[in-house]
Structure 1
């Protein structure tokens, strides 16, 4: 590794010397770029991520001087991926630089890809508000390029985090829209019941202990997909709505256990359904206080 660092530092010195010299027959920026690229590769092999990131930034600047915006955007992304190993904030900053250049040259698919990557960085840092912002930006660009699958993957993340942040209506609208779109696609049809279940769980949370929202939702979902009424997802939502109406915690828990024995509830669903359970308990306590 020490050998690779020495190599990298030597290539970097050569590149910087090129930049201070004259480029009579060739572009000094192109010559320096070639050497910076070699330096960055050596630093990567040595796993010296900070040095690699810094050199990729210099490489990007060389490409900009040569008006090679695509190469500059790629170098900024490489810088971001090096910094990602050690400094998430720096990584986001250089991915933004990359996105701006890709947008400028009309490479919207690449810009969308890196917006999604920024969203994932914020997601891993549990900054859900910022993750939503960047997933939304990625969605807009994927949709403009008709990359529907990637757009919907981002939208599902937005809905998931919106619900976690108690923005239930936003989540409901996204899940319902994805379900509607999926019905017309043979490859995506199998996921419709799952999207409607997610929307229904958000309806339960939004109802704040009242079953009106979910009952209205269930009517819409049957109109949207007539096969939904025969599904286990529909049965679960009906049972939970009845338990809410009857303020019956045991019935609510029993319905969840029965469903979970066949199809395991993931952490997201469990978190939201615990909120609903707490609402029923709170309602019970309120009524006890009144009597």
Structure 2
């Protein structure tokens, strides 16, 4: 990443911090989800003993390079031994095919026309990240069935830009409070979520209730049959979610950017999140790692990198 770009952002962010009000991630309308039954972690765990009924595929859409400080908090004493440098990241989407409910995506890949919708700050940022597109969502759709819905892990642009290429009638689901999360940085970046979501109907918020087992903040059985579960893992963003998929070839855990890299997962390195979100982010990451240790048959998919030993999907 260019060394000038972070400095530019820092200066602009400071100016906005003293002169502007915090703005939400998106002003797009939100409604309650029409899918899902609140459940407990023990219900989700019990489902792992049953045969999977859905198919699962990871698709790599693009790669980008960012400074290691974009992924771990280099100011935290726990990261003192981590050398500075760059990390290679991949932008993924995950395809789930259900025998009754059809196809859904987790996250949305990328669109070639994203830059056209961004303000100059975001355009500069995307270019400095050296984003290399392997395929766009539009290209993928040319040979694939369009999804009936998209389940987002969160609203950051690198997880949602492929929505531009999808039919505007596609329902989009996300965690509670994700759209309303307020930050001055949203004004600086020009609300990229608003630009990407233009033309879509209201976003559907998952209806979490407190997990009776207190293993996570909340659990929802998406289709009511134990095939797909959405897990509340706030911290990286207010409404960050993970997804446990009981696939025919074994259970898969898509953690989104609750843990985005191998350093975060294997070494427990903290994320560079605002001070107010640090405790939640570390708690969510710890809970996901604990669940993985307890259930070693579950294959884990990190936000932007494969775990050691996994083959990078294309």
Larger radius of gyration: 1
As a proportion of its length, which structure holds more strand?
2
TM superposition score normalised by structure 1? 0.21
